[in-house]
Amino acid sequence: MELKTDIVVVGAGLTGLTTAHYLQKYKQSFLVIEQAKQIGGAIQTGEENGFIYEKGPSTGVMNNEIVREVFEDVKAYCSLEWAANSVNKRFILKNNRWRSLPAGVIGGITTPLFRFSDKIRLLGEPFRKPGINPNETLDQLVKRRMGKSFLEYAIDPFILGVYAGDPSYLVPRFALPKLYNLEQKYGSFIGGSVKMQLEKRKSGEKKQPKQPHRIFSAKEGLSHLTHALMQSGGAEKFMLGIQNITIMPAEGSHFNVKGVLPDGEDLLIQAHQVITTTGASSLNGLLPFIEPSFIQSITNLLYAKVVQVAVGFNRWEGSVIDGFGGLIPSKEGKLVLGVLYPSAFLSKRAPEGGALLSVFMGGVRHPEVYDMDDEAIYQLVETSLQEWMGLASFHPDLFRVFRYQEAIPQYGADCEARFIALDRLEHQYPNLHIGGNLQGGIGMADRIKQGKQLAEKVAGK
Ligand SMILES: Cc1cc2nc3c(=O)[nH]c(=O)nc-3n(C[C@H](O)[C@H](O)[C@H](O)COP(=O)(O)OP(=O)(O)OC[C@H]3O[C@@H](n4cnc5c(N)ncnc54)[C@H](O)[C@@H]3O)c2cc1C
């Protein structure tokens, strides 16, 4: 089969789908090719016996307005769901007991999570000098400014929840740029946050809505969002189940995109521009014309392996579930990273009186969990939930295990070389655009933002 189009988008995860949505909005001619038989990438919703569960992400943080814009655009097919206010309650495990993560100053002073000496030390945070090493790791930065117990019982579990990562690997300049800039611009986290609020008020910018309103999902599951994006992008433009995709420069600054259709027939698409939105490692196969040592500096990106388990109960008989969920600091020495309570803050996730939990485990520190068999995972979840969730016995009505070999990219010191190489590549091939989570952030809101930016770039907006 031979086709011609202006733009080919490779990958139909959230980034590729958002790109397609905006390309359609900007009246571009394009095709999306995807190796899997289904769209959505990491986002897949399951529905069984009264449970609606996510195999990948459950919620995102609305940290930019484009997310709201996208939901508004696709409202004919899918509705935004805000998490209930209870998501403000978060827990941290210490000595096998959940402790509330303090939200305010009083909570911060009284919490048993942090050492007394670190609480006193925090008073001096605004007066400490900013760091000078741009590749300082997150653990070094936090120990320097806030103290070890804040690293162990606040930052480390936060990083497990977001990156399934390790603060001694992540570099804040790339992994948490807002935090890094706070120190670089204002000299302090505490002073910087206060000054930023004052600046916003001065400039007349509206106060941000409170945290709970910023956690989003889609009604009846995030797959409704990905399918809505495919509808709005034009379902006929999506080609699924395409194997062995390669992109080769052709005459006249065109690209030949080749692949194999599900029935074994060869596919050739001639395009003016190509956008890739896959994870980093796929680029090795997609771009065979690039010298291996050069492409390696782009694709050599560490990804956390994550195992996610959806556990459902028709009747919940454990302790009261109220809040977003709990995280387990590395210091506690567990294989489980955290337990989310989706049925407590999203509607229709479990039958009335029941509960849906999402247990995630492994991450950068425990990649071995990825290779554990389902029986071993079951036992781990059983003992963990009995110990922490007040369950006398463990008889779930839903138990589904999902493994991700390349779940979350880890933005470490190697980002600098990657970004330089990406710039060089795009300079040499201006019609080849490399998107995806190898840059631009790891969360759903970041992916949506990048999707729009990619579409704007190729459409000349
Ligand atoms: C277990 C888990 C939990 C998460 N939790 C959260 C969370 O709570 N909040 C949050 O905001 N984010 C979370 N994330 C991250 C979020 O899911 C991702 O940022 C987002 O879904 C990534 O979208 P993407 O399109 O960039 O990549 P992907 O979803 O990986 O999509 C890439 C697509 O490219 C396709 N592809 C790959 N190689 C090729 C190839 N050679 N040819 C053709 N197609 C190819 C893949 O099949 C896939 O469909 C989580 C991720 C995982 C895995």
Return the CATH number at 134.
1.10.3110.10
* Parts of the chain with a pLDDT under 70: 204-213
Pairing status of strand 355-362 against strand 266-276: unpaired
Ligand 1 within 6 A of CB of 444 = yes
Q: What's the gap in Å between 1 CA and the centre of ligand 1?
A: 28
Residues 75 and 144 reside in one and the same domain: no
Residues 248 and 283 reside in one and the same domain: yes
Report the C-alpha gap between 251 and 366 in whole angstroms: 48
Q: Which atom of ligand 1 is nearest to the CA of 442?
A: 19
Residues 37 and 69 reside in one and the same domain: yes
Distance of alpha carbon 42 from the chain centroid: 9
Mutate to test the pocket of ligand 1, among 159, 437, 438 (most ligand atoms within 8 A of CB): 437
Q: Confirm if 28 and 7 have CB atoms less than 8 A apart.
A: yes
Report the C-alpha gap between 57 and 283 in whole angstroms: 24
Expressed as residue numbers, the domain containing 433 is 2-43+64-79+221-301+411-458
User: For residue 454, what are its two tokens?
Assistant: 């990619």
Counted domains in the chain: 2
To which H or E segment does residue 10 belong? Answer: strand 2-10
Return the HEC string of 36-55: CCCCCCCCCEEEECCEEEEC
* 317, part of any domain: no
Ligand 1 within 6 A of CB of 245 = yes
Residues 143 and 203 reside in one and the same domain: yes
Residues 229 and 204 reside in one and the same domain: no
* 109, part of any domain: no
Spell out the alpha helix ranges (H) of 349-443.
374-388, 415-428
Q: Confirm if 10 and 30 have CB atoms less than 8 A apart.
A: no
* 21, part of any domain: yes
User: For residue 318, what are its two tokens?
Assistant: 């454990």
DSSP β-bridge partners for residue 100: 91
* 444, part of any domain: yes
CATH code for the domain of 240: 3.50.50.60
Report the C-alpha gap between 272 and 263 in whole angstroms: 26
Q: Which atom of ligand 1 is nearest to the CA of 33?
A: 43
Name the CA dihedral angle for 144, 190, 411, 41, rounded to a multiple of 10 degrees.
150
Residues 295 and 426 reside in one and the same domain: yes
Nearest to 119 by CA among 170, 154, 167: 154
Of the three residues 209, 230, 248, the one that is the final residue of a domain is 209
Q: What's the gap in Å between 98 CA and the centre of ligand 1?
A: 30
Ligand 1 within 6 A of CB of 257 = no
Closest C-alpha to ligand 1, atom 48: 41
- Residue written as token pair 């990083």: 159
Ligand 1 within 6 A of CB of 443 = yes
Which conformational region is residue 409 in: left (phi greater than 0), alpha (psi within -120 to 50 degrees), or beta?
Answer: beta
* 178, part of any domain: yes
For position 384, what pLDDT does the model report? 96
* 214, part of any domain: no
Residues 296 and 433 reside in one and the same domain: yes
* 314, part of any domain: no
For position 126, what pLDDT does the model report? 84
* 239, part of any domain: yes
User: For residue 413, what are its two tokens?
Assistant: 């010191």
Query: In the Cβ-directed half-sphere of 247, how many Cα atoms lie within 13 Å?
Result: 26
User: For residue 46, what are its two tokens?
Assistant: 């399951």
Residues 293 and 422 reside in one and the same domain: yes
User: For residue 334, what are its two tokens?
Assistant: 């567990």
Report the C-alpha gap between 272 and 291 in whole angstroms: 22
